[in-house]
Structure 1
């Protein structure tokens, strides 16, 4: 019988990766996908090394052969992408993936047997066409294997696996080449090592195919009669939206730049390590360093630099990639180059994940699909152009030896091309910074320093603490009331409260802070009044209720202070956060629900406005962006909902996310 997943038996947070892996069908698909990704990276290393061997010692011919393999790796995506997706959507997905893995294994086995550069290039194209069909079939199967609230975690795990598997692939390739080198008895040990790596690669695809055979839950796509836009319409509308929106335009250019920086290293890596006399083992190490750093950046940069806004982290990662690429170009020692390559990958990964997060937050749902389609096409184009041009530029520059103070220094085409690319990447990063900086006037280094040493906070272990956040008029009070009604039907003890004004002291502070008659007061005084209300609120209401096992729902909490007094006013967010964390004894909600609504929609619901609601449109826009950035930094503790939806639809989404978190109801 297929495994039935019951979210009530798994109360882990929605973004808990371990909870996703407990789902048997997805776990098996993930293992198969990991093996396919591993084989993909081993294949890239082996085929570029094989192309270099076929080209011989000619520097230009070697670069052209490697460039041809890399270019043909991405060319099918540009030509066959839409067709491959159409095919994958009309075939049985499980059969498609099984057959695709076995076909790729067969093609890789054939490459050493035929043993010509021409067949390497032809097989590369054929393998990539099969991969283009296999990938959409896998992606389309995942939503049918996991609950909706675990889908984001499943996609994140797949993303990290895609790039993280490059590291073990590099280690396997390096180990194979080292063992073959140490054996030394073979007449052509280098070519033997490459052939062996290709066979290992074929084996990973074959094992992946056998693993998918056991996943019975994967089947044929279910087709609804929907109006699907044509490829041309999708591309035109995506292009129009991207070019007409400055922030999105900066994101797309920046994401493309991050991919180009990594592509330059991969495209030139083989000849670069040859210039350093590191050979195939050095190539494997450098390759693994770049993609290992990329996985680390995607997985940890947003958490490490949580004090930075996503826009600043995105631009800083681009500039950092350019600086690291310049260091890689100038360094002529493989050990130091490897460390720089890890930093390069980390910076590119930080920009990549920040950029995609921002796209998800900034792009309206109505045009999000076509915008992402445009971004993916742009990235593929940049990859193809970079992988094709970089080796040819390096080959055209050739080898050069310079005499400096009586010493001969070799500085060849690969390093010079990397240096040119580093300058371009740095310029793109600076342009993105100028266009996207959301904290002008606040020094970057001050933001960076406050990113470190942040405490994880205290989360309740009894009861459940929920905060309702969002701009004015977003519907927090309505949803809080609906949630209380539903929780009581579930047998839960519920306490509904608010800030400011839940205590006698809070009511007096609320009158002062919101009454238009109060007029202008110091922004620091305003922040301290709110903090005073929070201190009394936590000690008098929230903590006692949680201790008794109740579900506590508060209409506004610390995030409102960070958004309104930090980002809305001219105060340092770090200072506002420090005061409010101290005032609340660093007590944090188990879940913060952000009702996201454009300010003009929310404020239009008020006939009269209080002192805060009467602030400028720019003020409220900064507040909205701050809520979204806080949610993006710690998605495991947030639920962001489009508040333009019907109130019953919003309530349903809230209940779905909360259901696994609710305390068990004890009956007497």
Structure 2
């Protein structure tokens, strides 16, 4: 069956996924409803995330200008923008690469986190953050920038969580393979198509977000004309629109069902950062250009990212606002997207390697001019040009990388390229604002010329200038048309393209191209045999020499003798052979629906005569297109091999073309690669240095995807489908029969169970009736037994109660008797105790009375002794006064006598008067001194007649009488000792006792004057006072210790020179305080109080004698 005979109706999704191109496979994924719903949520959420990042950049710039967190002026604003991108990159790196393993475990089918609810939660969190973000400037102006940076970090974390959940859930939504499986051809790579769809969606969300920001900002400006809040918060409406997009994503995900099946793990964005190995080191590609191409693509991407990062600063320098920012971002990213999509149509005849260098240079020049031009409209147009050129460079770089690598390693090389590009984009996004902050604003004035630009403009100039040497290096290192001026290639590419070309509508045309010795003939035979085995009609042909005229032309062209043939004639001869070949062989075979395999076609002329002979490739291609009426192959297999390797394969004498120098064959090889890079969907580049079988396998793999099905294959597919359907029907019938048999057996089992259940129920009913009868009899018997037992228990209970009553009465009687005996014993003991206490009280009362009588007697005698001592003191004072008067009279008499003598001795009057005055003064001084010493002795010893006691005499403390203390009988005093004295001594009963006081070492005990006995009686007082007082008055002897008596001692007496209040003995608890306590006692009346001591008695502790 030919292509025209194949059905053109829309096939199911699974058939569409098996399309003949990767682009159609990506579009076919969107026909799966769950995948389309998930893709819609990704597109809406991705647009909201990109819009949120732009809005947060604007808010951070506004907060930095108001707050000055990173410094005032231009540098502070640039640092704030860099901080926003840095926070986003850190969160993406942390949760997208570092913590990817734990997050994958959490979102796995057996993990604790549901993927759908995780995505809904991440969208909900970002919704809340974007609703609150514009309000931080109003709520916390001093911390607004900090809160915005936290918002950026959390939003980046939520985006990574959403992406991880999506990448682990999306493979589960892929459709199942067709029923016939891979019986006819290999199945398409669903996961690769899904990854490319996700990558394109993420990139498309950025220009969409810029467009949404442009519209939202324009609407916000209209609202700001009436509401001041929107004029101050110009980015607020964009923030709320982003929140609305997240809510739309939530509503989409809420109705999406995600199967919990095992899926491939999510891949880290930096997983392919290390370049794959080719066995002998990192893979550098066929020509060793992969490292340079990857670096060029990454440099262009980093430059565009830096330009987009400083766009907000450059918009401010141009006098714009959020609208200008949205236009610049839209121009840069949207232009890049358009350039990627249309790169294949830009100068298709120009070498792709030269196109990469040219696009890089245009990007650099556009960015450099953006920094120089101060006009906003021109800057936007230049941004569009820079973005478009960057997109062309990116697409061309991808095509060249695919061309340099084998298909088996192409996926890993592409991942490496994308990882490096992501790294450079991150560095450009952070480094651009930092460079702008480092440069700052500058103004240069030279006459009328003013050069004033901000740091963002200088950053654009710097980035654009750095791309120019990159373009030069790429051209120098990878140029495949060395020796041909670039301007000529550009002029020819701009002057016009090839005529309209199209593959044949019927059949399938395969062309094998490559240099001499690449192994085209071997592959033609192997492919022809393989395709015939599939049931196709195969026509094998070649150029030149496939027709009779072609053979003659071939002999002319390849004959060594035709070495002088001109280049143009050679090109025309090849074109003539091709025209005859197509009209007589190729088109008829294609119209029959056959598969035509041609060894060489138009590309050989373009490569050999265009690149090798230094002719214009566009002219060669135009002649060939005209000769073939625009017929191009469906698939061109380019067998790429180094000229040195190909020359080693020559087994015959080389012809005219094979005899060309190696430089010619190198240019031919570059020409082939340039053509393949211009249309990668129609070309398959295979490394011809491999084994022929490996080359055939690669080509067959590609043909399995694009070669139409033959009638045999269609029949085989139909047979496989019928067999699969028959097998499915058979399995269904077997399953139905099995289920029917199971149902029959289950039904019989249920019937048997029902019968058994009925019999069991009948048996149970009879058993229950018998059991009820037996139970009734048993209950009746138990009732009789219970009645009998109750009667017996009642009788036993009555007897037991009677016995208990008797025992209780007996016990009560015993207890009462014991209680009576105990009470009588207690009463007797109480009475005996009371009698004892009474006798003891009487005895104590008698003893207290006796002690009171003795105490009163003792007190009376002490008072009488004190009275006698006072009388003696007064009598001594009277005698002293009388003696003083007598002395005064004698002195007066002597004074009169002296006066008489002074009158008689007039000659000596003056001198005697002086002597008398001096003597009187001396006498007066001596009298004062003697009076002072007499006063001191009187204060310390009581009287000048009695000698003072010794310094080491023991001071006996004055006894303290306790009212409750039993007074000890005072012993009779002894006989007085003999001694000197005036007058007779009184009796022992009339003798006044001198009570010594305790003194310190610096004090003396004052001795009271002796009392003269007026009653007569001779006797001499003893010098020892202890012999003249009753025993027990002084405490120098240890009193007899009674049963309940203890003699108390007075406390130590402090120094009398220190004025302080003596501590008073606390009043006993039994003593009652009365108003008479403050009155002076009898001792105070007789001896005077302690306060009566004057300065004369400061030398001792005795009381001052009353006068």
**1:507 maps onto 2:551 in alignment:** yes
**1:435 maps onto 2:435 in alignment:** no
**1:148 maps onto 2:197 in alignment:** no
In terms of fraction of residues, the more helix-rich structure is 1
Of residues 361, 364, 368, the one that matches 1:322 is 364
**1:383 maps onto 2:425 in alignment:** yes
- TM-fit CA distance, 1:374: 5.4
1:41 equivalent in structure 2: 50
CA contact (8 A) 2:300 2:390 kept: yes
- TM-fit CA distance, 1:295: 0.6
- TM-fit CA distance, 1:173: 0.8
**Separation of aligned partners in 2, 1:303 and 1:653:** 28
**Separation of aligned partners in 1, 2:488 and 2:189:** 36
**Separation of aligned partners in 2, 1:98 and 1:664:** 50
- Partner of 1:451: helix, strand, or coil? helix
1:542 equivalent in structure 2: 586
- TM-fit CA distance, 1:603: 5.0
- TM-fit CA distance, 1:599: 5.1
Q: Superposition pairs for residues 4-15 of structure 1, below 5 Å?
A: 5-7=13-15, 13-15=21-23
Q: Which moved more, 1:471-480 or 1:312-321?
A: 471-480
- TM-fit CA distance, 1:346: 0.7
- TM-fit CA distance, 1:255: 1.9
CA contact (8 A) 1:89 1:221 kept: no
**Separation of aligned partners in 1, 2:411 and 2:296:** 19
**Separation of aligned partners in 1, 2:615 and 2:200:** 36
**Separation of aligned partners in 1, 2:20 and 2:283:** 37
Q: Per the alignment, do residues 663 and 446 of structure 1 end up closer, same or farther by CA in structure 2, a change over 3 Å counting?
A: farther
**Separation of aligned partners in 1, 2:418 and 2:646:** 34
Of residues 453, 464, 470, the one that matches 1:422 is 464
Q: TM-score, normalised by structure 2?
A: 0.54
Gaps of 5+ in 2: 1-10, 67-72, 137-143, 176-186, 716-1107
**Separation of aligned partners in 1, 2:665 and 2:506:** 35
**Separation of aligned partners in 1, 2:569 and 2:192:** 40
**1:463 maps onto 2:507 in alignment:** yes
Q: Per the alignment, do residues 547 and 379 of structure 1 end up closer, same or farther by CA in structure 2, a change over 3 Å counting?
A: closer
- Partner of 2:637: helix, strand, or coil? strand
Q: Per the alignment, do residues 647 and 447 of structure 1 end up closer, same or farther by CA in structure 2, a change over 3 Å counting?
A: closer
Q: Superposition pairs for residues 140-539 of structure 1, below 5 Å?
A: 145=174, 148=188, 158-184=198-224, 185-190=226-231, 192-208=233-249, 211=252, 214=256, 216=258, 219-222=261-264, 234=274, 241=282, 247-363=289-405, 375-401=417-443, 403=445, 410-452=452-494, 453-454=496-497, 455-516=499-560, 519=563, 521-539=565-583
Q: Per the alignment, do residues 472 and 409 of structure 1 end up closer, same or farther by CA in structure 2, a change over 3 Å counting?
A: closer
CA contact (8 A) 1:28 1:215 kept: no
2:674 equivalent in structure 1: 629
Q: Per the alignment, do residues 477 and 433 of structure 1 end up closer, same or farther by CA in structure 2, a change over 3 Å counting?
A: closer
Q: Which moved more, 1:594-603 or 1:650-659?
A: 594-603
CA contact (8 A) 2:50 2:205 kept: yes
**Separation of aligned partners in 2, 1:37 and 1:326:** 31
Q: Per the alignment, do residues 504 and 554 of structure 1 end up closer, same or farther by CA in structure 2, a change over 3 Å counting?
A: same
Listed one character per residue, the Cα deviations across residues 48-95 of structure 1 (whole Å, up to 9, x for unaligned) are 011112112543222111111122333455566543554576554996
- TM-fit CA distance, 1:389: 3.1
**Separation of aligned partners in 1, 2:560 and 2:232:** 80
Q: Per the alignment, do residues 97 and 254 of structure 1 end up closer, same or farther by CA in structure 2, a change over 3 Å counting?
A: farther
- TM-fit CA distance, 1:377: 4.9
**Separation of aligned partners in 2, 1:19 and 1:300:** 21
CA contact (8 A) 2:513 2:636 kept: yes
Q: Which moved more, 1:196-205 or 1:257-266?
A: 196-205
- TM-fit CA distance, 1:633: 1.9
Select the structure with the greater relative contact order (CA < 8 A; seq sep ≥ 6). 1
Listed one character per residue, the Cα deviations across residues 537-581 of structure 1 (whole Å, up to 9, x for unaligned) are 011111222233333222221112222332344332222212211
Listed one character per residue, the Cα deviations across residues 459-499 of structure 1 (whole Å, up to 9, x for unaligned) are 22233322233344544444444444454455544322222
CA contact (8 A) 2:687 2:695 kept: no
Q: Per the alignment, do residues 193 and 148 of structure 1 end up closer, same or farther by CA in structure 2, a change over 3 Å counting?
A: farther
**Separation of aligned partners in 2, 1:109 and 1:633:** 48
**Separation of aligned partners in 1, 2:501 and 2:705:** 22
- Partner of 2:310: helix, strand, or coil? helix
Gaps of 5+ in 1: none
- TM-fit CA distance, 1:100: 4.2
Q: Per the alignment, do residues 310 and 392 of structure 1 end up closer, same or farther by CA in structure 2, a change over 3 Å counting?
A: same
**Separation of aligned partners in 2, 1:363 and 1:175:** 44
Q: Per the alignment, do residues 194 and 442 of structure 1 end up closer, same or farther by CA in structure 2, a change over 3 Å counting?
A: same
1:107 equivalent in structure 2: 126
Q: Per the alignment, do residues 367 and 542 of structure 1 end up closer, same or farther by CA in structure 2, a change over 3 Å counting?
A: closer
Q: Which moved more, 1:182-191 or 1:519-528?
A: 519-528
- TM-fit CA distance, 1:203: 4.0
1:121 equivalent in structure 2: 149
CA contact (8 A) 1:84 1:133 kept: no
Q: Per the alignment, do residues 231 and 333 of structure 1 end up closer, same or farther by CA in structure 2, a change over 3 Å counting?
A: closer
Q: Per the alignment, do residues 373 and 459 of structure 1 end up closer, same or farther by CA in structure 2, a change over 3 Å counting?
A: closer
CA contact (8 A) 1:293 1:349 kept: yes
Q: Per the alignment, do residues 322 and 594 of structure 1 end up closer, same or farther by CA in structure 2, a change over 3 Å counting?
A: same
Q: Per the alignment, do residues 375 and 187 of structure 1 end up closer, same or farther by CA in structure 2, a change over 3 Å counting?
A: same
**1:67 maps onto 2:82 in alignment:** yes
Q: Per the alignment, do residues 138 and 459 of structure 1 end up closer, same or farther by CA in structure 2, a change over 3 Å counting?
A: farther
Q: Per the alignment, do residues 633 and 29 of structure 1 end up closer, same or farther by CA in structure 2, a change over 3 Å counting?
A: farther
**Separation of aligned partners in 2, 1:26 and 1:152:** 14
CA contact (8 A) 2:60 2:81 kept: yes
- TM-fit CA distance, 1:387: 2.6
Q: Per the alignment, do residues 112 and 665 of structure 1 end up closer, same or farther by CA in structure 2, a change over 3 Å counting?
A: closer
Q: Per the alignment, do residues 663 and 294 of structure 1 end up closer, same or farther by CA in structure 2, a change over 3 Å counting?
A: farther
Listed one character per residue, the Cα deviations across residues 343-399 of structure 1 (whole Å, up to 9, x for unaligned) are 010111111221222223224678767765654454344333333333233234434
